[in-house]
Amino acid sequence: MQSFALTARRLYSTKPPTGLPEAARIARTTSTPLAVRLRRRKKFGATPVGVSDSTPEGLTPTELARYKRLSAKNELKVIDGEQVTESQWLERLDERRSRVRGLKTVERDGVVETEVLGRRVYLPNIIIRLVRNNTLKGEPYNPYEATFRIPKSVTKTDMRSYLLAVYGVQTTYIRTDNYISPLFQRLGNKTKAFKTYKRAVVGLVEPFYYPARIEDMPPAEREQREKWIEDTYQIQATRSLQKYELLRMTKGQAKGWKMQEPLATKRSHILRLVAERREKREGLIVGQVREWQNMRERGESITLEKLKSSSDDKSIAPPTPQQNSVPVLAN
């Protein structure tokens, strides 16, 4: 694996020359930072859900304000004696933004190729992980946005050039934030922190759908997926083996403790033992009641001696599956 360290201080976004699709504009509006949304809401009003706040030409409120400011100051370029329109100004702005520094176009044997400039770094000690977007409950998943967990040393310029040079992914914006893990006290007055990481939220020109969660899959597809995971990675089998080895290694360490069977501490085994004892107890009660009914049908009197003799009898069998209900005693 190789990565490229670009020397440019800023790498502009790689927007397509024809403009963003409408779905990508809506996703860009939805993922606007909270402070910017509150400022725009206070100035322009709330934006309806599922609607982009950009103009029909594709200008965001910030770009539109900049265009109006330059127009009022007469600082816009003039084409054929006329001032550039919003769409022309945005097209020129996107052309300048699409100029990725650190890349150059060369022609070899009539074929145009793009080369990455800069110093090559072989086997870089960085890990870039693609994770699922943070979607609030009740809101749809945003396919025009991707979330990465990156090292703290990786910048927006590195992420944008990495996605474009290695995977050819065009980006519209990149927003980063740092998660500072809290410290907690350990024994011996030593402090330890959880993992601190940096998050990069990347806007995409083309949609990308993250695989669905196992919990959100239909029952048939979920069962098939879990079976494939178990057959491929043996997760449940590994956990069972770990529990068995832990019980085997700790067997005999506690005084008077003896392991009855490998699954003696499992909840299913405990519930099974409780159910068996309950069935045995209910079977004895039903058998005793049935014996008393037979004695009354024969006209025999139920005395204390007979009750003691019947209770001492160990040959009373539990009821059959067809005789689970307790009969009512006759007067």
Q: How far apart are CA 100 and CA 95, in angstroms?
A: 10
What is the set of domains in the chain, with CATH numbers? 2-53+98-204 (3.30.70.330), 221-265 (no CATH), 273-323 (no CATH)
Checking DSSP bridges between strand 103-108 and strand 82-83, what pairing results, if any? unpaired
Task: State the Cα–Cα distance between residues 281 and 101, nearest whole angstrom.
Answer: 82
Helix (H) or strand (E) segment spanning residue 256: none
Tens place of pLDDT per residue across the chain (331 aa): 334 333 333 334 555 545 677 888 888 888 888 888 888 888 888 888 888 888 888 888 888 888 889 888 888 877 666 778 888 888 877 766 655 556 677 888 888 887 766 666 677 788 899 999 988 887 788 888 999 999 988 888 888 888 887 888 888 888 899 988 887 766 566 776 778 889 999 999 888 988 888 888 889 999 999 999 999 999 999 999 998 888 888 766 655 555 555 545 677 778 888 899 999 888 888 888 888 888 888 888 877 777 777 666 644 444 444 444 444 444 3
Residues 6+ apart with CB under 8 A from 253: none
| pTM higher than 0.75 | no
Cα distances from 24 to residues 52, 54, 144, 271, in angstroms, run 9, 11, 6, 54
Q: Provide the 10 A C-beta neighbour count for residue 320.
A: 8
